[in-house]
């Protein structure tokens, strides 16, 4: 299968965004920055693309102008090992100018949507016991940041 690289369209702050994302996620780096040249004299010398990695996953940002913006139709899931990771990513992405959403979703300061999910949450809301899954799902619908202990307690009927 060919390698897939998400390409994110920004107006003109793509390098700033890439630098921010690289600071949020460990084992991340910027690999290359290209600039507009003579073919686009209005933007000559400004950043065109940024190739970067978040924990080994490649991404590209293009500064293409204001024609397009992000919405919730595309989001990135952060698979967190535990509640501590959930708290750290949530606090960083929301605390740096982002906005909370329902059920573990948030938008960062650039408008990109993220789902911050602790391992075990999906298993609770898809439990083979429909009543248990329903209790966990009902609890999740009442949350912004996901709380695995509260989801587990709800699934157990506590």
Position 11 scores a pLDDT of 96
Position 1 scores a pLDDT of 85
- From first to last of its 158 residues, what are the pLDDT tens digits of the chain? 888 999 999 999 999 999 999 999 999 999 999 999 999 999 999 999 999 999 999 999 999 999 999 999 999 999 999 999 999 999 999 999 999 999 999 999 999 999 999 999 999 999 999 999 999 999 999 999 999 999 999 999 98
Fold of 75-155: 2,3-Dihydroxybiphenyl 1,2-Dioxygenase; domain 1 (3.10.180)
The secondary structure element, H or E, covering residue 69 is: none
Cα of 102 vs its chain's centroid, Å: 14
- Full-prediction pTM beyond 0.85? yes
CA separation (Å) from 143 to 4, 55, 104, 114, 136? 32, 28, 7, 15, 11
Fold of 7-63: 3.30.720
Please report, for the chain, the start and end positions of each structural domain, with discontinuous segments joined by +: 7-63, 75-155
Within 10 A of 2 (CB to CB), how many other CB atoms are there?
4
Both tokens of residue 156? 């157990």
Position 158 scores a pLDDT of 85
Domains 7-63 and 75-155 share a fold: no
């Amino acid at each position: 299968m060919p390698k897939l690289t998400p390409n994110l369209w920004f107006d003109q702050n793509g390098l700033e965004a890439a630098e921010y994302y690289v600071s949020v996620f460990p084992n991340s780096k910027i690999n290359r920055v290209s600039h507009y040249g003579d073919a686009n004299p209005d933007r000559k010398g400004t950043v065109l693309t940024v190739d970067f990695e978040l924990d080994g996953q490649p991404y590209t940002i293009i500064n293409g102008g204001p024609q397009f913006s992000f919405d919730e139709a595309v989001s990135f899931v952060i698979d967190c090992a535990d509640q501590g990771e959930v708290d750290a990513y949530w606090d960083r992405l929301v605390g740096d100018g982002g906005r909370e959403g329902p059920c573990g979703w948030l938008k960062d300061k650039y408008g990109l949507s993220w789902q911050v999910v602790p391992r075990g949450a999906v298993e609770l809301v898809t439990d083979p016991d429909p009543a248990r899954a329903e209790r966990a799902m009902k609890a999740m619908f009442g949350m912004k940041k996901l709380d695995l202990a509260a989801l587990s307690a709800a699934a157990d009927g506590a």
